[in-house]
Structure 1
Amino acid sequence: MSINVNGAPVALPQDPRMSLLDLLREQEHLSGTKKGCNQGACGACTILVNGERILSCLALAVQYDGQEITTIEGLGSADDLHPIQRAFVQHDGFQCGYCTPGQICSAVGMIAELQRGVPSHVTDDLGDQAIAFSQEEVRERMSGNLCRCGAYNGIIDAITESVAEVAQ
């Protein structure tokens, strides 16, 4: 049993109670994914599984056998930043930076949701397959990712700027 983390195979733990977050941080030493509340309330541990965002603190690693996992380390590198990473830097979408990896992974997943036509609580027309991008949609969809520093305006600006580039 194994998962694919950022393009590399990773053996699943012997202990079926280990969370995906603990596997990434403790076994794989991928410290970008943060343990904030460890209760699914803050979003600091957000990663992508097959392109969809999940809270890794609430996921048992063994549930994801054979799945593609992407962490912040798998989105870009220092020499080749992901468009959302670049936009976060340009728009000061972080202060202390603790929530930033989860915010960025969540933003990537959120943009994919918009492209697939997944509605949110603020989507006007649930029958419309093409959901209009708006700051209201972004704020609603990112509401599960908390920033104690209050860098929300920079985060929203970064996502707004990069959505067209990421959606290509």
Structure 2
Amino acid sequence: MPDVDVQMRVNGTTRRAAVPPRLTLADFLRERCGLTGTHLGCEHGVCGACTILVDGEAVRACLVFAVQADGTEITTVEGIAAPGGELSPVQSAFRDHHGLQCGFCTPGFVVSVTAFLRDNPDPTDEQIRKGLAGNLCRCTGYQGILKAVRAAAAQAAGGADVLEDS
């Protein structure tokens, strides 16, 4: 099958390429764009390590073909920070509250939490747990991740970064 021409904006930069029809968006981002922050874990959409934003919605890049993303706006973990490199509130909270350990799942969590807090800026702990159910972590035990989400939500609301364990 012949390659298909695609064009999309990835982290603010227009990317054009001819791609095989069955090339996943995750592989396109990693191999063609050099954006290796999009991690491949299960390659079945279960672990969430490959989560990116497509037109603002959290999507598993391993489940989407690059040709399906033609004409879209893509944000990867590399595009979450400010243009000058300043960490986003979510990234800072993950760092400050030990929401990462080995780091493999972290990009997917950061992207998922960014979208989650945009849509639910004042979540309860139950909502946070439900919102993160699509991302798996084998190292942290999730407590630091929960604290990080609470802290990022508090920072976005202009509140103090003082959290109690729940």
* TM-score band, normalised by shorter chain: 0.7 to 0.9
Q: Which amino acid aligns with 2:126?
A: E
Alignment partner for residue 114 of structure 2, among 101, 108, 115? 108
1:134 aligns with 2:124: yes
Q: Does the Cα contact within 8 Å between 2:10 and 2:74 map onto a contact in 1?
A: yes
Following TM superposition, by how much is the alpha carbon of 1:151 offset from its aligned partner in structure 2, in angstroms?
3.9
List per-residue Cα deviations over 1:5-28 (Å, max 9, x = no partner): 000011144211111000000111
Asked if the contact 1:6–1:74 (Cα under 8 Å) also holds between the matched residues in 2, the reply is yes
Aligned-residue RMSD, C-alpha: 1.8
Question: What are the ranges of 5 or more consecutive residues in structure 1 without an aligned counterpart?
Answer: 116-131
How many Å separate the matches in 2 of 1:13 and 1:134? 45
**Aligned residue number for residue 79 of structure 2:** 74
Aligned residues: 152
CA deviations over 1:58-100 (Å, ceiling 9, x no partner): 0111111111100010011684001100000000101100000
Q: 1:71 to 1:167 in 2, by over 3 A?
A: farther
From 81, 92, 96, the equivalent of 1:90 is 96
Taking structure 1 as the reference length, the TM-score comes to: 0.84
Measure, in 2, the Cα distance between the counterparts of 1:160 and 1:113.
Answer: 14
TM-aligned CA deviation for residue 114 of structure 1: 2.1
- SS of 1:69's partner is strand
**TM-score, normalised on structure 2?**
0.85
Runs ≥4 residues deviating over 4 A = none
Preserved CA contact (<8 Å) 1:13 1:62: no
